[in-house]
Chain A
Amino acid sequence: MASSPFVIVVVPFALLFGVVATEAGLNLLQVMLFSFSVFAGASQFAAVQLMQDQAPVLVVLATSLAVNLRMVMYSVAMTPHLGAAPFGTRALMAYFLVDQSFAASQMEFEKRPDQPLADKVAFFFGTVTPIAPMWFISTFAGAVVGEAIPADYALDFAVPITFLAICAPMLRSIPHVVAAAVSIGAALLFAGLPYGTGLLLAAVLAMAAGAGAEVALTKGARQA
């Protein structure tokens, strides 16, 4: 049960998405389609927030997809272990490649890299078996609850709190802190730019700042 701690995280996260998306005016079908087809919590919250702010389609897409770009790294990291599986299996695994299945599988494959392909594939699917159904069921429950909650319950702040909670544990190195600080500073500075483009600009600057800080720190460490 390598993924059991993650199940605990998924339930309230999906519940909250169901509530927030419903409060934003989406109906039950739309909310469920969202969780089924995108299946990536942080980007779903980001898309709902931006659509609610009436940002243009392209900005909503660019920002939400950028949130998911980290999964390119997951795809790269899984390939040496799972890349020999048949295409159909890989196509299915790609759908289930989420933060939780990546983290648990990466840990397992690094610990025991020599296990047969079939075992690795089985392990990977084992990590999402408890997560995916909980994600869908909890989204559904959240959407039903959301339809019953009156709109004026300070729920506008559920998304900011959730994002801060996701980010806080990510601040595990100086470059991560630098990136987050630049992101906040630039987003506030450019808040007046039209159509949410200020956030995209802030994100690019923050990414560059994080990468730059990492390079500077590595160089400093090498010279020391």
Chain B
Amino acid sequence: MTIDPTTFWIVLPALAIGTYVIRLSFLGVLGDRPLPEGLRRALRYTAVAILPGLVAPAVLWPTATGGQTDPARLAAALVTLAVGIATRSVIGAILAGGVTLYAVLWL
């Protein structure tokens, strides 16, 4: 489905300002003070707590196949993850996943 223009024009400025405020927080306003250890610990895991959860349903139940688990997409996801862990290369993992996806789709 395509993005609703109203949603877009609300999300864009809010996300831009919010992201800038996050970046400016200590460097610009709060200054040189230590972050409480508990907060620091939680922040360390933000990205890794959100991104896998965001993709998991799309990997197992892709919208493009009407929610049916698709061998090509599943294989592509596993290859991407494996190559990414083994090589630590983001681009290498994307390429490996893309090649796997189209290879299995084509078979």
Contacts and interface: CB of A to CB of B under 8 A. Distances in A.
Chains A and B belong together in one complex: yes
A164 B12 CA distance: 24
Interface in A84-109: 87, 90-91, 93-95, 97
B75 to A, nearest CB: 11
Contact of B80 (A60, A164, A215): A164
Given A30-B8, A87-B28, A94-B24, A175 B45 contact: yes
B62 to A, nearest CB: 6
A65 B2 contact: no
B42 to A, nearest CB: 5
B84 A164 contact: yes
Secondary structure type dominating chain B contacts: helix
Contacts, number: 285
Secondary structure type dominating chain A contacts: helix
Contacts of B8: 26, 30, 51
A161 B80 CA distance: 6
B2 A52 contact: yes
Contacts of B76: 157, 161
A8 B24 CA distance: 27
A60 B28 contact: no
Interface in B28-55: 28, 30-32, 34-35, 38, 40-55
Given A157-B101, A187-B53, A80 B48 contact: no
B80 A94 contact: no
A166 B51 contact: yes
B16 to A, nearest CB: 4
Nearest to A188: B56
**Among the interface residues B11, B13, B89, which one has the most CB atoms of the partner chain A within 10 A?**
B11
B50 A63 contact: yes
Contacts of A183: 48-53, 56
Interface residues of B, number: 75
Contact of B42 (A9, A181, A207): A207
A79 B32 contact: yes
**Among the interface residues B58, B90, B97, B102, which one has the most CB atoms of the partner chain A within 10 A?**
B90
A67 B52 contact: no
A32 B87 CA distance: 32
Interface in B72-107: 72-73, 76-77, 80-85, 88-91, 93-94, 97-98, 101-102, 105
Interface stretch (A69-77, A131-139, A142-150): A69-77
A43 interface: yes
Closest 8 CB pairs of A and B: A168-B84, A25-B2, A187-B53, A210-B45, A206-B49, A37-B16, A165-B93, A183-B53
Given A206-B52, A211-B41, 11 more contacts: A40-B19, A57-B11, A60-B15, A61-B14, A63-B50, A71-B19, A164-B77, A165-B97, A171-B85, A191-B57, A207-B45
